[in-house]
Amino acid sequence: MAKKNPKIHEVVKYPDPVLAKRGEAVTVFDADLKKLVDEMFDSMYAAQGIGLAAPQINISKRLTVIDISFQKNPEEKIVLINPEIIDRSGKQVEEEGCLSLPEIREKVTRSEWVKVKAQDVTGKWIEVEGEELLARAIQHEIDHLDGILFIDHLSRLKRDLVLRKIKKLQKNGEW
């Protein structure tokens, strides 16, 4: 059954203050939460992303959705509520982007593999493991829940260059 007119949330852009705040724990697991999760997937797909954290749609909660298959494999849709990385190993350096920092892409060092403890939409505790792209997406999204952006992982020089580029885009009304 197709959903009618899903609510698409606008993705907030840097430097919106909500992006720099640690999200609050989700404590109520009800129909509203399930609806929000569906809306987050729809919003993420509409924005052409593979991950979306609640703070990116101006909701300061510890909730993120990830689908590295980008709608190709429904089994790969992941919902992480109140997630916490409990194990990690290896190292990968790959280019990352972010829906809250459109047009900005930089190489970021992340763990190659992660294991996360989180809750699902019913509140049940689950463990999720990911490697390579999925590991990077999980780390990127959990960073959002902690008020950290991928540019915070860059060297000071690189970050300054990115911030200068953003200021120029803002000045030209393109941000």
Q: What is the mean pLDDT of the chain?
A: 96
Q: Is 98 annotated as a binding residue?
A: yes
Question: Is position 97 within any domain?
Answer: yes
Identify the pLDDT of residue 23.
98
Mean pLDDT, residues 48-57 taken together: 98
How would residue 6 be classed by pLDDT, with cut points 50, 70 and 90?
confident
Question: Is position 5 within any domain?
Answer: no
Q: Is 153 annotated as a binding residue?
A: no
Read off the DSSP letter of residue 67.
-
Identify the pLDDT of residue 4.
61
Question: Is position 151 within any domain?
Answer: yes
**Structural domains in the chain (count):** 1
Question: Is position 106 within any domain?
Answer: yes
Token output for 66: 């990830």
Annotation says 141 is catalytic: yes
Residue type, 4: K
Instruction: Give the model confidence (pLDDT) of 82-132 as tens digits.
Output: 999 999 999 999 999 999 999 899 999 999 999 999 999 999 999 999 999
Identify the pLDDT of residue 8.
96
Question: Is position 6 within any domain?
Answer: no
Identify the pLDDT of residue 14.
96
75 pLDDT above the threshold of 70? yes
Question: Is position 7 within any domain?
Answer: no
Question: Is position 11 within any domain?
Answer: no
Instruction: Give the model confidence (pLDDT) of 26-49 as tens digits.
Output: 999 999 999 999 999 999 999 999
Helix/strand/coil (H, E, C) string of 104-142?
EEEEEEECCEEEEEEECCCCCEEEEEEECHHHHHHHHHH
158 pLDDT above the threshold of 50? yes
The one catalytic residue among 96, 112, 141, 174: 141
Domain holding 145: CATH number? 3.90.45.10
Identify the pLDDT of residue 3.
52
Phi and psi based region of residue 157 (left: phi greater than 0; alpha: psi -120 to 50; beta: remaining): alpha
Question: Is position 112 within any domain?
Answer: yes
Neighbouring CB atoms inside 10 A of 146's CB total 14
* Residues forming a β-bridge with 119: 81, 125
Identify the pLDDT of residue 1.
47
Domain carrying residue 41: 17-171
Q: Is 140 annotated as a binding residue?
A: yes
5 pLDDT above the threshold of 90? no
This prediction has a pTM of 0.95
